[in-house]
Chains A and B, each alone.
Chain A
């Protein structure tokens, strides 16, 4: 169990009287990319919030690197980098100041050179490093946030609709970055509507419906990674 970066077993999360996640189980090995697909209200984002400890777990087990969010929220958050759909940067701070601020909050010490290297590795234009984030496009915000995740060097990365609003080139760059992170051993759980993007990057794709994994596909070692028709049919079938 503890070999997994993320281990979820029979998870139930309720919001008020509504059961949003209902018996969800999944696990991520180090370096694995898992794409969680599903319709609106299927429980994707709720699962991410439960992992982060933002929502209490009603029943089942959930651990990140062996820590439960309820019992050890600090340990869990130290192990997770989270990119929301709309990356929340401070508009009055520059990219460098934003990253520096969040790193300080996360109690991570990184040098100026480390930060610049991270920016370079996510292809954030040098001119943007000391520009206030208020002028950034969505892609630049994503890159800044990914740079932050790289700098935090956490074993688990949670992504909520990471490519929505990105142009195809930026989305392709982004997937390249994820593969690089995966190669470094970072486990990635990605919540998305982007079937093609998921098929391009993920090692496994899970289809969530009614708060649980309704179907799951594993990437093929040879040939096309996934049968897109099967994925499409599966996705259309539960929508």
Chain B
């Protein structure tokens, strides 16, 4: 039998016979399994609740009585971000970005009801999801199981005994890495089942689920190789443990937090309040559709009258108020789009910073690949917000169009004084039923794979680096007679 396999089998036997190691393995397995089950149950409930809420909000909008169309513009509706099949594996930014947007005229609202904002502060420390377990806890438990794998043998003298029996440094390192790899695979197994289950329910997500699984396998492989290499290089078990814990703190905790902080400072995103104030200032500059003396809308009115060859708005073949409301909405929506595009560009640049920080931390790379693959990343959230804004604009303009065509200008002008005119401006509730419903489709698997590529390449680089360190450990062991 191959020497590495013999050594791996012996190492696994040690884990099975060591109460401490066994507790570590069982803890890791339990954590992974509990995370997979609870996350799947929780996300299934969330998905159902959001789908149900979207149906109910659509029904409520369509069930409104006869009304003036502009009342419906302000009545508004809600867009809820649907939950993708892989979100149970990695909810990503879902808990922090908000999931519901109130859609109304003249305003672009932020998403609300982020789980982290709605629940206790503890959630901010990380939900127990398969992604969190694999990114954060699995490396830590692998460290506790593997830090002494070679250093302990060196301290006891059995490393030289192995070498004296013909085991090369490479076969020893290989065997130890295989054994720790089996533990890593065990940790990965419940998550793989969760991904497989999601892929079975949505076969078109199968390929990307496999890619996510490979990304995590690569991430844990890099940890396994690194742990064994450090254990092979360190003079003592204690030294190996200290070095590995420091590496974990740096890679999993410090670099991701610091990178996010640096990205935020280097390219700051204006606050929501600042953005709203800036939009309000721009709106005042461009024009106020409610002010008859506003220069922009005075010019717009003059142009409209000229276009239709009339001198009064009352003589236009449509209700000028609705027509003007469409122009007002077009202007505000364009502003919203411009500001959103600027914010998106800043977020994209910040994501770029974080992406490059993957050079310093494979945890960032795997987190990025995982969220993108599961369609729970910022890109998908931005796509949702853009879809919600496009839907809002379309809905409001349809309602403004109804005001222009289905409500008489004379009744509209008199409705605040004349109850009968007011009644006539209330158009049939049947119109609400013709309005389209909000639909959002996450970026396609192919589009997500394209975005995942840089993170996957960085993970590949980390695996190569871990192999390099393992090679150094082998050379050091050979030089010092194991």
Residues of chain A whose beta carbon lies under 8 Å from any beta carbon of chain B: 49, 52-55, 73-74, 77-78, 80-82, 84, 86, 88-90, 92-93, 101-102, 104-107
B65 CB-CB contact with A under 8 Å: no
Per-residue 0/1 for B360-380: is the Cβ within 8 Å of any A Cβ (1 yes, 0 no)? 000000000000000000000
B158 touches A88 (CB 8 A): yes
B481 touches A49 (CB 8 A): yes
B433 CB-CB contact with A under 8 Å: no
CA distance A82 to B481 in the complex (A): 13
B157 touches A84 (CB 8 A): yes
Given contacts A54-B163, A55-B481, A92-B17, 13 further A-B contacts (CB under 8 A): A52-B481, A53-B481, A80-B164, A81-B164, A88-B160, A89-B158, A90-B10, A92-B13, A101-B6, A101-B10, A102-B161, A105-B7, A106-B165
Residues of chain B whose beta carbon lies under 8 Å from any beta carbon of chain A: 1, 3, 6-7, 10, 13-14, 17-18, 156-158, 160-168, 480-482
Contact of A105 among B6, B14, B480 (CB under 8 A): B6
Q: Taking CB as reference atom, which chain B residue is nearest A92?
A: B17
Contact of B167 among A84, A86, A105 (CB under 8 A): A105
CA distance A215 to B290 in the complex (A): 114
CA distance A213 to B158 in the complex (A): 30
CA distance A102 to B7 in the complex (A): 10
Residues from chain B with Cβ under 8 Å of A107 in the complex: 3, 166
B482 touches A54 (CB 8 A): yes
CA distance A80 to B165 in the complex (A): 8
CA distance A30 to B394 in the complex (A): 97
Cβ-closest 5 pairs across A and B: A54-B481, A88-B158, A88-B157, A106-B165, A82-B164
B18 touches A92 (CB 8 A): yes
Closest approach, in angstroms, between the C-beta of B87 and any C-beta of chain A? 43
CA distance A112 to B17 in the complex (A): 22
Residues from chain B with Cβ under 8 Å of A106 in the complex: 165-166
CA distance A84 to B159 in the complex (A): 12
Closest approach, in angstroms, between the C-beta of B263 and any C-beta of chain A? 47
Q: Taking CB as reference atom, which chain B residue is nearest A108?
A: B165
CA distance A82 to B163 in the complex (A): 10
CA distance A106 to B166 in the complex (A): 6
Q: A88-B156, A92-B17 are in contact. Are A77 and B164 (CB under 8 A)?
A: yes
CA distance A80 to B481 in the complex (A): 15
B161 touches A88 (CB 8 A): yes
Residues from chain A with Cβ under 8 Å of B18 in the complex: 92
| CB-defined A-B contacts under 8 Å, sample of 10 | A52-B164, A52-B481, A53-B481, A54-B481, A74-B166, A77-B163, A78-B166, A82-B161, A90-B158, A101-B10
Residues from chain A with Cβ under 8 Å of B17 in the complex: 92
CA distance A62 to B288 in the complex (A): 98
B14 touches A102 (CB 8 A): no
Residues from chain A with Cβ under 8 Å of B14 in the complex: 90, 92
